Amino acid sequence: MGRHLSTVEPAWRDQLRPEDQHFADVLWGRLAPEPERRSGSELASLGDVDRDVYGRQRRAWFREVPPVRLTAHARVRHQLEAERLDDADSDPGFGAPRPITVIEGDPGVGKSKLMDVEGFFTSAYFAGFRSRPGCKPDPRSTLTRSTADYIPVVRVKFRPTQKTIYKVIDGILTAFGEPGSSGADRDDSLGTAIRNHGTRLIVFDELQRLPLTKALGRDVLNLFRDLSDSCRVLIGITNIDDVVTGPRTDGRGAADDTLDLRSVALTLKPLGYDTDDEVKEWQQWLMSLEGRLILAKMTHPGWLSVDLASYMHAVSQGHMNSVVRLLSTALSRAMATGAECIDRALLDTLAVERAHESARATRIRG
Query: Which amino acid appears at position 190 of this protein?
Result: L
Nearest to 221 by CA among 207, 209, 201: 207
Residue 248 confidence (pLDDT) = 43
Average pLDDT, the chain: 80
Residue 181 has a pLDDT of 65
Residues 54/38, Cβ–Cβ less than 8 Å = yes
Angle, helix 111-131 to helix 74-88, in steps of 10 degrees: 30
What local confidence, expressed as pLDDT, does residue 305 receive?
A: 96
Can you give the pTM of this predicted structure? 0.81
Cβ-based neighbours of 331, under 8 Å, separated by 6 or more? 58, 59, 62, 293, 295, 342
Which position has the higher pLDDT, 33 or 338?
A: 338
CB-based contacts of 301, cutoff 8 Å, min separation 6? 290
DSSP state of 132: S
pLDDT tens digits along 89-146: 666 555 567 878 999 999 889 999 899 889 888 887 876 655 544 444 454 444 334 5
Model pLDDT for residues 76-86, shown as the tens digit of each residue: 999 999 998 88
Count, residues in the chain: 366
Find the DSSP H helices in the chain: 18-27, 40-44, 48-63, 74-88, 111-131, 165-176, 185-196, 214-227, 276-290, 309-316, 320-337, 344-348, 354-357
| pLDDT of residue 330 exceeding 90 | yes
State mean pLDDT over 223-249: 75
Residue 355, amino acid: A
Q: Which residues contact 61 (CB under 8 A, 6 or more apart)?
A: 32, 33, 34, 35, 292, 294
* Mean pLDDT calculated for residue range 1-20: 59
The answer to whether 173 touches 197, Cβ cutoff 8 Å, is no
In the chain, the domains with their CATH numbers are 71-267 (3.40.50.300), 272-362 (no CATH)
CB neighbour list of residue 87: distance below 8 Å, 6 or more residues apart: 98, 200, 201, 232
CB 247 within 8 A of CB 241: no
Range of lowest pLDDT (29-33, 183-187, 262-266, 298-302): 183-187
Residue 234 backbone phi and psi in degrees, to 5 = -120, 125
pLDDT of 156 strictly over 50: yes
At 288 the pLDDT is 92
- The answer to whether residues 45 and 63 touch, using CB atoms and an 8 Å cutoff, is no
Which stretch, 38-52, 152-166, 218-232, 233-247, has highest mean pLDDT? Answer: 38-52
pLDDT surpassing 90 at residue 206: no
Contacting residues for 152 by C-beta, under 8 A, at least 6 apart: 122, 123, 126, 127, 138, 198, 199, 200, 201
- What is the percentage of the chain residues whose pLDDT exceeds 70? 77
pLDDT band at 363 (very low <50, low <70, confident <90, very high): low
pLDDT score of 196? 82
